[in-house]
Amino acid sequence: MNQQPTTNNQQLLTVEQVNVFYGELQALFEVSIQVGQGETIAIIGANGAGKTTLLRAISGEVPVKQGQINYQNKATRGVAAHQLTKLGISLVPEGRKIFPSLSVSENLKIGAYSNRKGPWNLEKVYQLFPVLRERANVSGTNLSGGQQQMLAIGRALMNNPDLLLMDEISLGLAPIIVKDIYNVVKDIARSGTTLIIVEQDVSRSLQVADRVYCLLEGRVSLQGQPADLRPEQISQAYFGV
Amino acid sequence: METVITVVLQGILLGSLYALFAMGLSLIFGVMRLVNLAHGDLIICAAYLGLVLTQSLGISPFLSLIIVIPAFFGIGMLFQVGMLNRTLGKGPLPPLLVTFGLSVILQNALLLGFKADNKRLDAGSVETASLQLGGNIAVGILPLITLSITVAVMFGMQALLGRTSLGRALRATSDDAATAEIMGIDSRKMYAIAMGISLALVSIAGVLLGIRTTFAPSDGPARLIFAFEAVIIGGLGSLWGSFVGGLLLGLAQSIGAQINPGWFQLTGHLLTLLVLVVRPTGLFARTREA
Amino acid sequence: MLKSEITPVVTDIPKLRRIPERWFALISGIVVVVLLTGPLWAGAGLMRNAVDFLSYLALAQMWNLLAGYAGMLSIGQQAWIGLGGYSLFVVADDLQLPLILGFVMAGIVAAVLALPASWLLFRLRGGYFAVGTWVIAEVFRLLVTNNVEWLRGGYGRTLNVADFDPDTRELVTYMLAVAIGIGATALVFWLMRSRVGLGLTAIRDAEVAAGSLGINTNRMKLFVYVLCAGVTGVVGALIYLNQLRITPDAAFSPQWTAFMIFIVVIGGIGTIEGPIVGTIVFYFLREGLTDLSEWALIILGAIAVITMLFAPEGLWGLLKRQFSLEVFPISRWLPVKSSEKN
């Protein structure tokens, strides 16, 4: 199941046989994934399957104990999170993590801290999420949940990322807002940005993803293109039954 | 009545120095939740550096700031990078104990280098000049300069934190260092810059202190306590709070000294303890968790 | 290092070789007997040194209990030394009561005054708690110096204890020092083996979680804070029975706390053995540098800072890791293979 195709230059990111520990607790077991340039990858799995840990390992927030992560054909092990951000990896973190003492516009500007060149700027983000312009001078934490999620996505876009990681962006939001946000995600994907989306909502992620990886108890239990995967296959990989 | 006005004026002018002490302490606590226990000793060190410079170069202490401020900014960065950053993530005790150790080392190094005598910075005629405000009320020019510098520093700090990219990054780090990292902000660098700024403020405070009054190597801890009291009175994490807290502390001390010279420090301590009882978050605290 | 990197699941916890409890009891017994019979075999100089050593040991044990075990970093323990010292002078000299009552009073006064102090201090956290303890100590110093006439604080005072000849006084001082030094160590040992120890460890490691598990964190911290104040007060009485002359500036000097901190940090914070090792190191360093008091403090401070930076577990921690040894049997292990370290 875990057979790897040979890495080629089209791969933006490869994760090879990665083990991650929290203290002495192992969270990821020899996880391998490949992400091609411009692809949208969905990572699905139950609570505690290791999805967030995988994103945090890719973004440099948790150290990789064994195995290797290559980004743009360079090994990222030991590279600090803030340096990876400068190299174009942006994360929309679980729980949004809006800076409370910064206003909405300041939260966006801080996203551009690394001064990376690219299509996104304050004006473009405001066009994408007009409500943020209306509330530009409000403290970021005074927004509604959906608006905060937009702010978190906008903030990550301000870095003009080559690889955008999104963690549970639908969590706790009303279905109608989730739909709006996923329409924006599709736009972002269409613009050529490579995406990795972590999601518990399987059907939602199957709609946007080119390929899917399912994690079960820290291991890759299934991978493939949405069209090739049968529902019972997915539920088996998801629940392990 | 004139006495009252004089006491109040003296208190406010004294307090402006305390506000300056407090700002540096407050900034460090805001950005990295650390109380620098060597804060007071660093203030005294700055006064001694001013002394060495004025004596060896024959310049005015005010002019010596041109060297003292950048020197202390650099010392602050080095202190953070070389020592405190190594203690990060190991719980609250190690960084505190390191600053405590540094405090004792600095105090005794000053004793070795300068003996226990009281020293003073000579700023010439500015020290004794005063402004007559009618009646028998006069305000010293020097305290007025101190107050103006403190107010200018306040506005400067506010602009730096509120309007610049660096200020945004410092506030983001203060809010949530891990998330700031994924914005591309090197939190260790932010800590170093914050410590540099804190010590730059310390150095201004130290030189002004040295012009205003005599100082000795063992004076540091008391300055730390004054800075702490200003912060507690004003409220944690609030720049303007620290400023007003400093003024109130100066006022309390000035009133205490008027009643009985021995009560000079005691009234300040008692005001602080009173604020702790009545309003533990300080008078001007922001609601943010400390 | 490398080996542990490859092992995926932890199977080998560094097993502490614990000295068998029978042996531990035997060794402790021998130490106690040797100390108690001191007057029979030791010279006056050695006994004086022992008094000094045991006072510092007791101070360090108490500071370690407070900061190392309960996580309360105090830099104002001099408050209790000063209050204890003055209590002794008042009881023994002014009231002409037996010396031993002075020691009891020293403990009571310090513990009772620690109550209102804690009420104020427990509103502060971490570093601000630390500076707060210092302010409290300063308030006591200023009150004793200027405001409480009957203490005759201002210029310092001398203990008269007229009913003692010097030899008897030294013997009494020595015996009290042995009792206090061993007592403080035994107290921490006993506490850490009791339920209190378990609760304290929980508070130090995760205060909020400990609270949610039903540990009354505030009451436990209060208990430790007041206890440490009381015992430190008793040590204050011992120190000034030994020195015979007290001034507010010396008795309430922050240097006392600096010594406690350096001893504990160098020896190993959060262990019972640490303060013992630290006191030995401190003692020899101080003896070696008697004429250079500033240098002594600079060197002590530097060693403490370096310890914190590079070996935060202190000398005892290094020894413990080298030999996997624990002298005082207080650590607890889950049976079978646990995934918990320490």
Q: What percent of chain A has pLDDT over 90?
A: 67
- Under an 8 A CB cutoff, do A113 and B185 touch? yes
Candidate from A185-189, B154-158, C10-14, C287-291 with smallest mean pLDDT = C10-14
**ipTM for the complex?**
0.89
Chain B residues within 8 A of C300 when measuring between CB atoms: 104
Assess whether pLDDT exceeds 70 at residue A7. Answer: no
Give the residue among B279, B276, B91 at the shortest CA–CA distance from C118: B276
C154-208 pLDDT, tens digit per residue, is 677 888 775 577 788 888 889 999 999 999 999 999 988 888 888 887 777 776 6
Count Cα atoms within 13 angstroms, Cβ side, for B122: 9
- Under an 8 A CB cutoff, do B266 and C143 touch? yes
Average pLDDT over residues C96-100: 86
* The pLDDT of residue C331: 65
Higher pLDDT, C11 or A149: A149
Question: Alpha helices of C96-246 — where are they, by DSSP H?
Answer: 99-121, 126-142, 166-193, 195-205, 207-212, 217-243
* The pLDDT of residue B107: 94
Structure tokens at A175: 């279905």
C222-259 pLDDT, tens digit per residue, is 999 999 999 999 999 999 998 888 999 899 998 899 99
Q: Which residue in this structure is represented by tokens 């290559």?
A: A70
pTM of the model: 0.88
Assess whether pLDDT exceeds 50 at residue A59. Answer: yes
Assess whether pLDDT exceeds 70 at residue C18. Answer: no
* Cα–Cα dist B242/B235, whole Å: 7
Give the model's confidence band at C98: pLDDT under 50 very low, under 70 low, under 90 confident, else very high: confident
* Cα–Cα dist C27/C33, whole Å: 10
CA distance B149 to chain C (A): 27
Candidate from A47-51, B172-176, B235-239, C106-110 with smallest mean pLDDT = B235-239
Q: Which residue in this structure is represented by tokens 């000795």?
A: B216
B90-101 pLDDT, tens digit per residue, is 888 899 999 999
- Chain C neighbours among B 253-282 (CB < 8 Å)? 262-263, 265-266, 269-270, 272-273, 276-277, 280
Nearest by CB to residue A99, choosing from B176, B184, B186, is B176
C306-337 pLDDT, tens digit per residue, is 999 998 889 988 888 777 667 776 666 554 44
Higher pLDDT, C14 or C73: C73
Count Cα atoms within 13 angstroms, Cβ side, for B206: 31
Neighbors of chain B by Cβ distance (3+ pairs < 8 Å):
A, C
In degrees and rounded to multiples of 5, residue C160 shows phi and psi of -90, -35
Exposure string for A136-169, b = 16+ CB within 10 A, e = fewer: eeebbbebeebbbbbbbbbbbbbbbbbbbbbbbb
* Cα–Cα dist A76/A74, whole Å: 6
B243: contact with C, CB 8 A cutoff: no
Nearest by CB to residue B184, choosing from A61, A106, A113, is A113
Average pLDDT over residues A37-60: 92
Tell me which H or E stretch contains C18: strand C17-18
C9: contact with A, CB 8 A cutoff: yes
* Cα–Cα dist C316/C318, whole Å: 5
Beta strands in chain A (DSSP E): 11-22, 25-36, 40-45, 66-71, 74-75, 89-92, 163-167, 194-199, 211-216, 219-224
Give the model's confidence band at A36: pLDDT under 50 very low, under 70 low, under 90 confident, else very high: very high
- Under an 8 A CB cutoff, do B183 and A102 touch? no
Assess whether pLDDT exceeds 50 at residue C1. Answer: no
C208: contact with A, CB 8 A cutoff: no
Structure tokens at A25: 């607790």
Assess whether pLDDT exceeds 80 at residue C10. Answer: no
Candidate from A110-119, A129-138, B280-289 with smallest mean pLDDT = B280-289
A82-105 pLDDT, tens digit per residue, is 999 999 999 999 989 999 999 999
Give the model's confidence band at A3: pLDDT under 50 very low, under 70 low, under 90 confident, else very high: very low
Chain A residues within 8 A of C342 when measuring between CB atoms: none
B119: contact with C, CB 8 A cutoff: no
* The pLDDT of residue C165: 79
* The pLDDT of residue B133: 76
- Under an 8 A CB cutoff, do B97 and C261 touch? yes
A19: contact with C, CB 8 A cutoff: yes
In degrees and rounded to multiples of 5, residue A15 shows phi and psi of -110, 120
Tell me which H or E stretch contains A9: none
Assess whether pLDDT exceeds 70 at residue A112. Answer: yes
* The pLDDT of residue C276: 94
Average pLDDT over residues C145-150: 76
Interface test with A, best of B27, B166, B174, B182 (most A CBs within 10 A): B182
Length of chain A: 241
Please list the ranges in chain B whose pLDDT falls under 70: 285-290
* Cα–Cα dist B186/B163, whole Å: 20
Structure tokens at C209: 């979680």
B182: contact with C, CB 8 A cutoff: no
Give the residue among C251, C280, C250 at the shortest CA–CA distance from C263: C280
Q: Which residues contact A230 (CB under 8 A, 6 or more apart)?
A: none
* The pLDDT of residue C125: 81
Average pLDDT over residues A120-133: 93
**Which residues does residue A75 pair with via DSSP β-bridges, in sequence order?**
A70
Give the model's confidence band at C6: pLDDT under 50 very low, under 70 low, under 90 confident, else very high: very low
Average pLDDT over residues A181-198: 92
Higher pLDDT, C252 or C293: C252
* The pLDDT of residue C214: 65
CA distance B245 to chain A (A): 22
